[in-house]
Amino acid sequence: MKSSHQWNFFCFCTLFRPAFVPGLTPPKIPDGEKVDFDDIHRKRMEKDLTELQTLIEAHFESRKKEEEELLSLTSRIEKRRSERAEQMKIRAEREKERQNKLAAPNKGGTKKQTEREKKRKILSERRKELNVDHMREDTLREKAKELWNWMHQLEGEKFDLQYKYTRQNWRFTFLQTNVMF
C-alpha cells in the first residue's frame, strides 16, 4: 500500500503527465569497476530537471487555458449584463407607456369612459360661480331672474332631447320589427 505522500505525487504526475520526456537511459553500473557516484548523481539531477521543466510547462499551459476561460466567462458575463440592462430599459419604457395609458383615458379609454368625460366637461362648463355675498337686494333679484331663465332654457333642451330619444327609440323598434317579419 502506498503512503499518502506517494499517492499525492502519483496523482499529480498522472494529471500533469509531460508531453515529451526525453529518452534517458538509466546509468549503467559496470561490474567490478569503480562506481562514479558523481556521474549517477548528475544524471539523476538532469532527469529531475527535465521532469520539473515539463511539469512547469504543463502548469503554465493549463494556467493559460484557465485564463482564456476566465476571459471568455467575463466577456459572457459582461454581455449578459448589457443584455439585462437593455431588457430592463425596455420594461421600464413599457411600464411607463402603460401608466400613461391608464392616466389618460381619453386617448385609449373605452367608449363609456369617454362619454363620462364629455358629460363632466359639459357640466363643468355650464356650472357658474355664484358670488352673492357682496350683492345688494336688487342685483340679487336680477341674478335670480337670470338663473331662472337659464334653468327654463335647460328644461326646454331636456324636453327636446327626451322627445328626440323616444322618437328614435320608437323608430328603432319599428325598423327592427320590419326586419324580422
Q: Which residues of 159-179 are buried (b: 16+ CB within 10 A; e: fewer)?
A: eeeeeeeeeeeeeeeeeeeee
Cell numbers representing residue 83 in the block: 443584455
Confidence band for 130, pLDDT divided at 50, 70 and 90: confident
Cα 158 to Cα 29, 50, 75, 151, 152: the distances in Å are 131, 110, 73, 10, 10
- Assess whether pLDDT exceeds 80 at residue 144: yes
In this predicted model, which residue has the larger pLDDT, 136 or 11? 136
Confidence band for 143, pLDDT divided at 50, 70 and 90: confident
pLDDT recorded at residue 120: 84
Instruction: Give the distance, in angstroms, between the CA of residue 167 and the centroid of all CA atoms in the same chain.
Output: 57
Quote the CA–CA distance of 40 and 24 in Å, as a whole number: 12
Q: pLDDT by residue (tens digit) across 35-60?
A: 677 888 999 999 999 999 999 999 99
Quote the CA–CA distance of 90 and 96 in Å, as a whole number: 10
- Assess whether pLDDT exceeds 90 at residue 170: yes
In this predicted model, which residue has the larger pLDDT, 21 or 38? 38
pTM (2 d.p.): 0.33
Quote the CA–CA distance of 24 and 7 in Å, as a whole number: 24
Cα 24 to Cα 34, 47, 113, 149, 167: the distances in Å are 22, 7, 95, 125, 118
Quote the CA–CA distance of 109 and 101 in Å, as a whole number: 8
Q: pLDDT by residue (tens digit) across 60-112?
A: 999 999 999 999 999 999 999 999 999 999 999 988 888 887 776 555 556 77
User: For all residues of the chain together, what is the average pLDDT?
Assistant: 81
Quote the CA–CA distance of 116 and 181 in Å, as a whole number: 37
DSSP E strands, the chain: none
- Assess whether pLDDT exceeds 90 at residue 157: yes
- Assess whether pLDDT exceeds 60 at residue 25: yes
